[in-house]
Amino acid sequence: MGPPENLIQELKNHLKLNYFVETGTYLGGTAVWASKIFQFVFTIEFSPELFHKAKEKFADVQNVKCLFGDSREQLKEIIDTLDQPALFWLDAHWSGGVTYGDEDQCPLLEELEILNNSEYNHFILIDDARLFLSPPQPPHQVDHWPNICNIVDVLRKKYSDKYIVIIEDVIIAVPLEAKDIVIQYCQETNAKSWHEYGRSKLIKGIELIGVWGKQKLKSALQKILKP
């Protein structure tokens, strides 16, 4: 689904965040969006093919820095340059195709440990929550992937009051000052989803009634017209 753009915009505006850090550039869509919102964007890619495409894409974009290599190594360098908390979008885990990592599928726990070594309490969003809530589907190698309990343990290792939720296939972990913003976003999102679910059920019911009605009418007509 990609990052929750409305939530990120709210966090950025209310808490004056200037830096967006992405692991897993892929086609660069998220970095393009973030470059219009944040003062500076770091985006890391380990697939040579995807990295070179990103470099071309952002050649003339002054506030995006494309970095090639292992996200764990690049994050170590990035956190040393930051002068305030940043928003991290962690999506470097393997997803098949041309993405990097079929033999090293999920660096997430190590990424989080690196962020714990920073002097700042960062805002962390992790894509593809479903892959951590239960064992991922083949051809993912299950022993490469942490479960949600492992992730929460590391997220709260340094900051025990980190506020953590999962919504729209994203694990969100933020400092306590952002709790109310995240709660409001979740409530609005869940209310909208519930409304859409109720509407879809109503439409389905009407469709089923329509089919049933047509069948009853056809049966009645057949009886009337039967010689």
Q: Classify residue 37 as left (phi > 0), alpha (psi -120 to 50) or beta.
A: alpha
Please indicate, yes or no, if residue 20 is contained in any of the structural domains. yes
User: Which domain does 146 fall in, by range?
Assistant: 5-178
For residue range 32-45, what is the model confidence (pLDDT) as tens digits?
Answer: 999 999 999 999 99
Please indicate, yes or no, if residue 189 is contained in any of the structural domains. no
- CA gap 206, 99 in Å, rounded: 44
Element (H, E) at 87: strand 87-90
Mean pLDDT estimate for the chain:
89
Please indicate, yes or no, if residue 77 is contained in any of the structural domains. yes
Q: What is the mean pLDDT of residues 1-23?
A: 96
For residue range 183-196, what is the model confidence (pLDDT) as tens digits?
Answer: 999 999 999 988 77
Share of the chain above pLDDT 70, in %: 81
Please indicate, yes or no, if residue 40 is contained in any of the structural domains. yes
44: domain CATH number is 3.40.50.150
156 pLDDT higher than 60: yes
Please indicate, yes or no, if residue 185 is contained in any of the structural domains. no
Please indicate, yes or no, if residue 205 is contained in any of the structural domains. no
Q: What is the mean pLDDT of residues 147-161?
A: 97
What's the domain count of the chain?
1
Q: What is the mean pLDDT of residues 77-82?
A: 97
Please indicate, yes or no, if residue 196 is contained in any of the structural domains. no
Please indicate, yes or no, if residue 226 is contained in any of the structural domains. no
